[in-house]
A and B are shown apart, each in its own frame.
Chain A
Amino acid sequence: MAVKIIKENCKGCSLCAKACPFDAITIVDKKAVVDEAKCTNCNTCVAKCHFGAIEAAPKAEAVDLSAYHDVWVFAEQRQGKIQNVALELIGEGKRLAKDISEKTQICAVLIGNNIGHLAQECFEYGAEKVYLCEDPLLENYTTDGYTKVFQQLIDEYKPEIVMYGATHIGRDLAPRIAGRCNTGLTADCTHLDIKVSKYIEFAKKNTTLDTSDLDPNDPDVGIKQTRPAFGGNLMATIICPRTRPQMSTVRPGVMQKLERVPGATGETVVVKPAVTKEDIRVEILDIVKSAKEMVSLSDAKIICSGGRGLGDASGFDLMKQFADKVGGVVGASRAAVDSGWIDHSHQVGQTGTTVKPDIYFACGISGAIQHLAGMQTSNCIVAINKDADAPIMEIADYAIVGDLYKVVPEIIAEWDNAEALFDASTK
């Protein structure tokens, strides 16, 4: 299927060709021509045409998918600790389930060994049902073991939607299951919707998407999965209309956990996993937790950068301490380098190194445009500055107004407590 050009209406203005994200439309003899192999039925062009010359691609014929119901979350646990993303997905999944219908349940899938007590945690964060699969062979995650058990569950209980955290385990498991169950999987979603009306609301608030061709009363309750592509330059909303379950992996930290309800209960379904030693073809020799190695500025996951606000060269001793603590490397603004406080090799910015770490700590850096050019695509920017109006504070994800010589030592002191602090804050 592809969009259809109504030739009589087409003026050959080429607006559709320019709008097509997939280069599927060309203008031949002053008429738009659709390359069916390239067209993905995204219908972007339909809204762009001023002359009503494009007919939207027809929806795939309805198949009986009614055997599938409920929303499942893979309650990923490691060494008996449920991953935070799983609890976030239970929260998000509950919202989605109730948008499908009142009787659609949110269920958690717990796979492991001696993890029965984790079911309670799932209930307290909103799960209505827990599928519990325990076996010594499932003690640690293996692709083979977990895929087999998950397929067994899907075949037997037929979920409508399955969500996984986009972790190194979720991204290993989910595609394997999608391959085995021959269904669609959308990776690294950052936003999910069921109802068209809510999708329109989301699009209006957060995007430039023209939603005039969407009907808020559309009864469709298929999942609409929004994710970044092309390095975040483009967002795409993906649907899975013909196969079940509809499956997504979701990035950690983007969905909201529900408020924990101590003592909440639900139904536990104990499933005996049909997994044997022969099924598991890899041998895990060791699982190691390790500190990150030191890396260069451009590869660094965390950068602790200092600027003129450090006052003198000795400020970089604190930056070094900071970087050592967090497993990062030391960066610097041009002002600090020009003052001779630190070597040029540490300079971030237009004339220095362009960086894109997971976290960029800007300490005493005002944020000259040349500096911003070299670090503004960092995943998360934390600015610490006495001046609340410094330009860096505007682009920062987290701005701390204060004396860096007082704030940074506190961050260093509390760094190792982050997990405990977080757990305490969510209790």
Chain B
Amino acid sequence: MAFKILVCAKQVPDTNVIKINPKTGTLIRDGVPSILNHDDNNALEEALKIKDKFDDVTVTVISMGPPQAADLLFECIAKGADEGYLVSDRAVGGSDTWATSNTLTAAIQKWEKVNGKADLIFAGRQAIDGDTAQVGPQIAEKLHLPQVTYVEEFEISEDKKEVTVKRQLEDGYELIKVKTPCMLTTIKELNTPRYMSMKGIFGDKKITVWNAKDIEVDLNTVGVKASPTNVFRSFTPAPKAPGQKVAGDTENDQAKNLLVALKGKHII
């Protein structure tokens, strides 16, 4: 039986080009390109590398978002994924991470009903628009799977029953062994994502769009109303606070005071 890999991916606005309207203090969205979230691109790449290495591996991308997020599935398939599913429904709009993970969990379970249990699930560590890093672990929790986050190196055993990964820490790494099936969240150190291939771009695209009814999700657990967290207020940040002069009678004192300040702020 095929070894089945799922990749959770999100379409995000490119936050590097987002500008704030200084008059209204709101985001200017016009002309901001939508892109495949960076960490998710690394998740897809690692899945595709397994597919390159072994016969009989399938890679399925699952996403949630507005209808135009299907573009992301197009891109993933053009890179080498077999198929893509997009959950798109107003009922799931405005979800926080808890509600989002309920939706994606339901979508995965729906997919598994037809195709059998996934052997490995990849997700990017976090999306550049929200930066929460919460949806991956919450899906793992709801699917009762073990998880490893911040994966920066990955190896799978020949029998594909076990993976060994390096999990990044602030000051080093942990080497962790875990049996499949499991959920891994990936960071950019893991690999260099490939480009779309000509063949992929022009080939057939198996893209399915599901609504909330299709994935049989409990509507009381999704969308803005079911979300445990709500936005109370939002605003633009204040301009950068002025810096401070580092005191010290000697150069050595200055150096010491600087290092204490940097350490205190967790910058080093």
Contact = CB atoms under 8 A, between A and B. Distances in A.
A272 B130 CA distance: 37
A168 B168 contact: yes
Interface stretch (B19-27, B46-54, B55-63, B198-206): B19-27
Interface stretch (B67-75, B79-87, B240-248): B240-248
Given A233-B15, A233-B20, A421-B263, A172 B233 contact: no
B245 to A, nearest CB: 5
Contacts of B173: 287-288, 290
A37 B140 CA distance: 26
A238 B176 contact: no
A17 to B, nearest CB: 10
Given A407-B251, A410-B251, A380 B265 contact: yes
Contacts of B228: 182-184, 240, 242-243
Contacts of A407: 251, 254-255
Nearest to A224: B232
B233 A43 contact: yes
A28 interface: no
Contacts of A11: none
Interface in B221-256: 223-225, 227-238, 240, 242-246, 248, 251-252, 254-256
A415 B234 contact: no
Interface in A152-179: 167-169, 171-172, 174-176, 178-179
A42 B259 contact: no
Interface string B10-32: 00010110111100111101000
26 contacts: A1-B225, A18-B26, A37-B224, A42-B231, A44-B235, A140-B174, A147-B141, A168-B167, A168-B169, A171-B134, A175-B136, A188-B132, A208-B25, A230-B129, A233-B19, A233-B27, A234-B234, A234-B235, A236-B231, A236-B234, A237-B233, A239-B230, A287-B172, A290-B171, A380-B262, A400-B248
A253 B266 contact: yes
B1 interface: no
Contacts of A321: none
A41 B229 CA distance: 11
Nearest to A281: B146
Interface string A342-382: 00000000000000001100000000000000000001111
A37 B94 contact: yes
Contacts of B141: 147, 175-176, 179-180
Contact of B246 (A241, A358, A394, A398): A398
A236 B170 CA distance: 26
A359 B267 contact: yes
Q: How large is the interface on A (under 10, 10 to 19, 20 to 34, 35 or more residues)?
A: 35 or more
B179 interface: yes
A203 interface: yes
A397 B164 CA distance: 41
Nearest to B259: A418
A381 B140 contact: no
- Chain B residues touching A, range: 35 or more
A407 B259 CA distance: 12
A174 B141 CA distance: 11
B20 A171 contact: no
A303 B40 CA distance: 27
A395 interface: yes
Closest 7 pairs between A and B when the two form their complex, measured CB to CB:
A184-B228, A231-B15, A179-B141, A410-B255, A184-B229, A253-B266, A175-B134
A350 to B, nearest CB: 16
A184 B132 CA distance: 12
Contacts of A167: 170
A285 B176 contact: yes
A339 interface: no
A419 B268 CA distance: 9
Given A203-B235, A285-B177, A39 B97 contact: no
Contacts of B265: 253, 380
Given A182-B98, A421-B260, A144 B146 contact: yes
